[in-house]
Amino acid sequence: MTHQTDNLPGFRFHPTEEELLEFYLKHVVSGKRLQFDPIGTLNIYHHDPWELPGLARIGEREWYFFVPRDRKLGGGGRPNRTTKNGYWKATGLDRKIVRLSNPKQLIGLRKTLVFYSGRATRGSKTDWIMNEYRFPDNSPLSKDMVLCKIYRKATSLKVLEQRAAMEEEDAKHLQASSSPPASPFESISFCSQQEEMVPSVIPTHEVLKQELEVAAMVARTKEEKAVEAKFTYTPLQIPSELDKLAELQVPKLDMDWSQDLFWSQLNSPWLQTLTPYMLNF
């Protein structure tokens, strides 16, 4: 198996379980060194799982480590899987791994563990998963080293939304508890006499609206006055100079026309005789 292409662009490290046991773990426990080994040795229990991706030599969604088996003193041979902020807890029984070419030949065991934040029996389950690979008990190879694969379990959208809501609620409670209590004097409003005399500031759009209304009212008033002046008639005024004219002198006529010289000539006996006939005509 060649690993000189590990650093080439596009290379992805996804070994099978048989390759992890028969090639990588066997070389380490046998003391053989590879020219390029993509898996480093690290005691992962000194770190929380979210710190491990930055400590791995290679990996995008899954990270691999050779882990020395650390056993508790007087714990019946059980390894110590406690970290600073939580612990790894095994789930179910170990699964047997067989050779693909010979399904009857057992080559190793796989233990699945889940990380819990907090202390034992009161921890909160997370989505960090670990597969621990080791040789079977009847194998002549050393059992002091195991190979661990760390990855995060695929989480559904509903669980992510619930988790985000819980984190937001916790943040609100933390903010409320961290804020100092309000002083009783903060609820009292103090206002000086000078502040009371300051007029309230009218928004710019309100001032513009008032100016437009006033301009429209002035224009409407001017138009009404112009129409009223157009249809209003001014009475004829007699010049005052005519009052100063002298009164026209008209000669008085004597109503007795028989005294006039002209009419006296015409007043003849013949005319007096003819007058009754003319009047009757």
Residue pLDDT, tens place only, 47-90: 999 999 999 998 888 999 999 987 554 445 567 899 999 999 99
- Average pLDDT over the chain, rounded to an integer: 75
Architecture of domain 17-152: Beta Complex (2.170)
**At 183, phi and psi to the nearest 5?**
-75, 145
CA 38 vs CA 5, 57, 173: distances in Å: 11, 6, 45
pLDDT above 50 for 44:
yes
* 3-state SS record for the chain: CCCCCCCCCCCCCCCCHHHHHHHHHHHHHCCCCCCCCCCEECCHHHCCHHHHHHHCCCCCCEEEEEEECCECCCCCCCECCECCCEEEEECCCCEEEECCCCCCCEEEEEEEEEEEECCCCCCEEEEEEEEEEECCCCCCCCCCEEEEEEEECCCCHHHHHHHHHHHHHHHHHHHHHHCCCCCHHHHCCCCCHHHHHCCCCCCHHHHHHHHHHHHHHHHHHHHHHHHHHHCCCCCCCCCHHHHHCCCCCCCCCCCCHHHCHHHHHHCCHHHHHHHHHHHHC
pLDDT of residue 32: 80
Res. 10 pLDDT band, cuts 50 70 90: low
**Cβ(123)–Cβ(165) below 8 Å:** no
pLDDT above 60 for 1:
no
Residue-wise pLDDT for 107-126, tens only, equals: 999 999 999 999 888 899 99
Among the ranges given (3-17, 98-112, 115-129, 239-253), the one the predictor scored with the smallest mean pLDDT: 239-253
Among the ranges given (110-124, 220-234, 246-260), the one the predictor scored with the smallest mean pLDDT: 246-260
Name which residue leads in pLDDT, 92 or 164. Answer: 92
pTM exceeds cut of 0.85: no
pLDDT of residue 240: 57
Residue 59: how many CB atoms within 10 A of its CB? 19
Section 206-235 average pLDDT = 67
Pairing of strands 62-68, 124-134: unpaired
Domain ranges, ordered by start, for the chain:
17-152
